[in-house]
Amino acid sequence: MSRRRRQPALFCFMLCSIFAMLFFLLPACSSNRPQTYQKSRALMDTFITITVAAGSGKEADNALETAFAVIEGFGKRIDFFSGDSELSRINSNAGIAGIRVSADTFDLIEKALYVADRSGGAFDPTIGPVVRLWDFHKKTRPSDTDIKRGLALVGYKQVVLDKQRSTVFLKKKGMLLDLGGIAKGYAADLAAESLKAGGIASGIVAIAGDIRAFGLRPDGTPWNIGIKNPRQERAGDEIIGSIRLSNRAVSTAGDYERYFIEDGRRYHHILDPSTGYPAGQCRSVSIITEKGVFTDGFDNAVFVLGPQKGMQLIREINRDFEMDGIIIDADGSVSETDRIKGTIKNEKSH
């Protein structure tokens, strides 16, 4: 698990689908039928596109601007690199004092610790000291000694939450909370709720590869989301399957998003908190459930656990709430939960 400055794994296909949908629907729309409106903006170190169905451009624009403002404000509070953020104040006070934070920041951290606990630490928001050692832009990797030193500061059980005071405390000096592996899904949830509060009955929020949909398209069908081929054979975003989404979220974690090859080995950004090195059993994992915060957190956890343990975790989570998953392992074999069997077009599916 790591902070993800992700290329939009699902976004490119979704954008093309939306344009195609607009072309098809708008000429046939009556004055009484909502139309689709779309805006994009660069926030949270990525590209965000929100599409809504609304009765007028003014109604859509007001709701979209409010949703983007919600995302922007939240992003500033949990920015890992900004010295003014609530997250940075938590990190700079590690081993010293608990820091009072806003309700959204506290809720996000609480949910991150829930994912960490349910996954047995396969997702760990305290992996910051190890994440900062890797540089995928410069294609350099840290030494074993540096990784070992960073791992000594990783441990989600060392995070203390005081719900009554809304404070967060990291027990060890040098610990670093890094919420990049779960924050975009949470932001998508916030934006979706903002849109609904603004009177929008149907829409889709895409924050890189973290997507939250609600309601139905104007033609009464669910939103269509593509799943990217992690080993595409041609330029562009090759799609190997799609899912139909309504009142659900989907997130994909893949080893193709940020990586480099050295001596024939792929080093990517999804780090195993137990080793400090990239997890090696999967190519990509897509998780579908009601909330984006959980799709975003659990896609990392399942990726780290690998196909067998990852699918077992999904089955366990289903005892609490409905969750589906698509796992493409290191050999290209595909595993899917029963509810979405046949989603991926792959002869190795099982």
Domain that holds residue 192: 11-26+41-73+184-340
Question: For residue 160, what is the domain's CATH number?
Answer: 1.10.3980.10
- Out of 170, 202, 232, pick the residue that ends a domain: 170
Say yes or no: 195 and 315 in one domain. yes
Are 204 and 254 contained in the same domain? Answer: yes
Sort 260 into a burial class: Cβ within 10 Å, 0-12 / 13-18 / 19+: middle
| Residues 255 and 162 occupy one common structural domain | no
Residue range 224-262, pLDDT digits in tens:
999 999 987 665 668 888 999 999 999 999 999 899 999
**154/271 same-domain check:** no
Q: What string of pLDDT tens digits covers the 350 residues of the chain?
A: 544 444 334 433 344 333 333 323 333 344 568 899 999 999 999 999 999 999 999 999 999 999 999 999 999 999 999 999 999 999 999 999 999 999 999 999 999 999 999 999 999 999 999 999 999 999 999 999 999 999 999 999 999 999 999 999 999 999 999 999 999 999 999 999 999 999 999 999 999 989 999 999 999 999 999 999 998 766 566 888 899 999 999 999 999 989 999 999 999 999 999 999 999 999 999 999 999 999 999 999 999 999 999 999 999 999 999 999 999 999 999 999 999 988 876 535 44
Q: Domain boundary residue among 135, 170, 205?
A: 170
Per-residue model confidence (pLDDT) at position 232: 76
Q: How many domains does the chain have?
A: 2
With respect to residue 177, please indicate whether it lies within any of the assigned structural domains.
no
Based on the fold, state whether residues 131 and 274 are members of the same structural domain: no
Helices (H), the chain: 11-25, 57-77, 86-92, 103-118, 128-131, 144-151, 183-197, 292-305, 307-317
Same domain, yes or no, for 101 and 248?
Answer: no
CATH value at residue 302: 3.10.520.10
Structural domain contains residue 15:
yes
Both tokens assigned to 101: 């934070």
Same domain, 289 and 146: no
Same domain, 53 and 195: yes
132 and 212 assigned to the same domain: no
Quick one: 227 and 287 in the same domain? yes
Q: Are strands 46-54 and 202-207 parallel, antiparallel or unpaired?
A: antiparallel
In the beta sheet, which residues pair with residue 37? Answer: 52
pTM, to two decimals: 0.89
Question: Is the same domain home to 17 and 65?
Answer: yes
Domain membership of residue 78 (yes or no) is no
Of 115, 139, 170, the position where a domain reaches its end is: 170
- Chain position carrying tokens 């929100």: 50
In a domain, 346, yes or no: no
Q: Kindly state whether residue 259 falls inside one of the protein's structural domains.
A: yes
Whether the Cβ atoms of residue 302 and residue 350 lie closer than 8 Å to each other? no
With respect to residue 178, please indicate whether it lies within any of the assigned structural domains. Answer: no
Q: Give a yes or no: residue 154 inside a domain.
A: yes
On whether residue 79 sits in a domain, the answer given is: no
What is the DSSP annotation of 102-126?
A: -HHHHHHHHHHHHHHHHTTTSS-TT
- Please check whether residues 141 and 199 belong to one and the same domain: no
